Amino acid sequence: MPETIVLDRPLTFQEIAAVARGAALSLSDKAWQRIADARAIVDALVQKRVRGYGINTGVGALCDVIVDIPQQQRLSRNILLSHACGVGEPLGREETRAVMAAQIANFSHGYSGVRVETVETLLALLNADILPVIPSKGSVGYLTHAAAIGIVLIGEGEARHDGEKLTGGQALARLGRVPLVLGAKEGLSLVNGTPCATGLASLALVRAAHLLDWADAAATMSYENLGAQADPFAAAPLALRTSPGLQAVGENLRRLLSGSALLARSAGSRTQDPLSLRAVPQVHGAVRDSVAQVAEVVNRELSSVTDNPVVAGSPEAPEVHSQAHAVGAALGLALDALGTAAAELTAISERRIDRLVNPLVSGLPAFLAESSGVSSGFMIIQYTAVGLVAENRRLAAPASLDGGITSALQEDILTHATPAADKALAIIANLETVLAIEVLAAAQAYDMQSDPSGRAAGTNDLHGRVRATVPVYRDDRPLNTLVSAVQALLRSGVSED
C-alpha cells in the first residue's frame, strides 16, 4: 500500500514531493470543514450581492464588469476554458502530481470558497493517478497550468492514466463521476494562486537536497585522486567560518576520506591545492545554506493562502478581500537563487572532472584512457560536462526580473515564479548528469592509480558501488550509457544503509 499523507496542518515541501512520487493524500475532517465553511461564505456573498472579484465580476481588466447570479456558473466555466491555452510538451507525472497536491493544500486553508465536491473530485483524480495533461509552456505565473487541471473537472481537456490518454469526461467516468457544474468563484480559484510554482519548487528542493551528499561524495573521490594537502578539511580551521552548510560538508569529507593511504602518500607535495579541490567546503557549503533558505520560503508559501480574492467572516457577515496573495514574488526570487546555487555546484564539479582527465595536472594517463591515442577515454565526456555547465549558466539568468505587462495594464508586474521553478528543475537535472560524469571519471582514475589499494574506507565503498554498476571504460561502448547507469545510482542514497 502506498504511503498516505494526511492534510490537517500546512504541508511541507517534503510531503508535497512524497505525494508527487506516489503517496496518497487525504484530508482531515477539520480540513474538509474549513473548505465547507468557506464555501458557505461565498454562497452568502452571492446572495447578498456583495461585489467580489471573480465572484460576481469579470477578471483581469474586466474586474469592474458586473456578472449577475444567472451568469456566474458560466463565468466559472469560461474562465477555465479561456485560460487553458498552454503549449508545449506536458509536465511529467511527478510534476503534475506535485502541482495538484499543492493546489488541494491551498484550498484546505479554508479561504478560497470552492465546494467540497470540487476538492473531492480533484483529490480522487490525484489518488487514482488519473492526471490532467498540463502543457509546460505559456504561463508567466500559473494560469495556464492550473486551467489544464481545472478543465478536466468539468469534463473537458485531457488526462493520462497508465499510459492511456483520456478525455476529461472519460477520466471522470473512470472514477464513477460526472463533470462538475462549477459555482461562483470556483473557476477563478481553480486557476489562481501559487500552487503550480510551489508544487514544482517542492520537487526541485527534494531533488537538489538529495544531490548535495552525492556532490560531497564525488568531490572526495576526485580529491583523493588529485589532492596533496595534509588534512585539508580539518575541523578546527573550518569552524572559524560561520556556516551550517560548510560544517556539514567538512564532516562529510572527513568521514569519507578518513584513513586514506593515497592522501597520506601525497601529503605535503603541494602547499595549496587548486580551488576546485580546496574550496569544496566553502562552495558546497554555500549551496547547502542556499537550499536551506529556499526551503524556508517554500514551506512558508505552503502555509500561506495564495488565492485572490480571499473570503472570510461568516455567512451572516461575509467578507471578501482583494489582495495580491497570488503573486509569487518570494517564490520567484527563491527559485532563481536555487537555480544559481545548483549551477554553481555543477560548475565546480566540471572543474574537478577536467583535472581528472587532464594529463597536465592529474599525474594519470591522458583522459583516463587505457591506450592513449588509440583510445580517447574521457576526453569528450568532459566536453559534455562543459556544455551542461554553459547551459546552466544561461538558465541561471533570473526569471523573476523578466517582468511583462498583461491584461490591458491591470496586471502590469509579473514575477515569473513558475518559469523560475521550471528552469531550476532543468538546472538540477544537468547537475545530476555532471555529478554522474565526475563519479564515473573518479572511479576510472582510481583504477589507474599506481597503487589503487590506498583508498579510504568510505571512498572504497563508493568505488565498489560504481563498479557494481558499470565496468572500467575501455572505449568499448558509448560512454553515455555508463553515465545513465551512474545517474540511476545517484538517485539512490550515498550510503547503502
Rounded to the nearest 10 degrees, the angle between the axes of helix 93-108 and helix 13-20 is: 130
From residue 200, alpha-carbon distances to 142, 150, 235, 360, 479 in Å are: 11, 18, 36, 43, 31
Report which of 36, 32, 38 is spatially closest to residue 52, judged by C-alpha positions: 38
3-state secondary structure at position 5: strand
* Euclidean distance between CA atoms 483 and 166, whole angstroms: 35
C-alpha cell at 123: 483529490
Instruction: Give Cβ neighbours of residue 70 (< 8 Å, ≥ 6 apart).
Output: none
Rounded to the nearest 5 percent, the helix, strand and coil shares of the chain are 60, 10, 35
* Euclidean distance between CA atoms 144 and 80, whole angstroms: 9
In this structure, are residues 93 and 125 in contact, taking their beta carbons and an 8 Å threshold? Answer: no
3-state secondary structure at position 271: coil
Q: Radius of gyration over alpha carbons of the chain, in Å?
A: 26
Question: Active site includes 53?
Answer: yes
HSE of 476 in the Cβ direction (CA atoms, 13 Å)? 7
CA dihedral 77, 83, 85, 90 (to 10 degrees): -90
In this structure, are residues 105 and 302 in contact, taking their beta carbons and an 8 Å threshold? Answer: yes
| Peptide bond just before 318 cis, omega within 30 deg | no
* Euclidean distance between CA atoms 219 and 281, whole angstroms: 10
φ and ψ at residue 158, rounded to 5 degrees: -135, 155
Instruction: Give Cβ neighbours of residue 33 (< 8 Å, ≥ 6 apart).
Output: 110
253, amino acid identity: L
* Euclidean distance between CA atoms 156 and 153, whole angstroms: 7
Q: Which residue has the cell 498516505?
A: 4
Helices (H), 448-477: 457-469
Residue 184, judged by CB atoms within 10 A of its CB (0-12, 13-18, 19+), counts as buried
Catalytic residues: 53
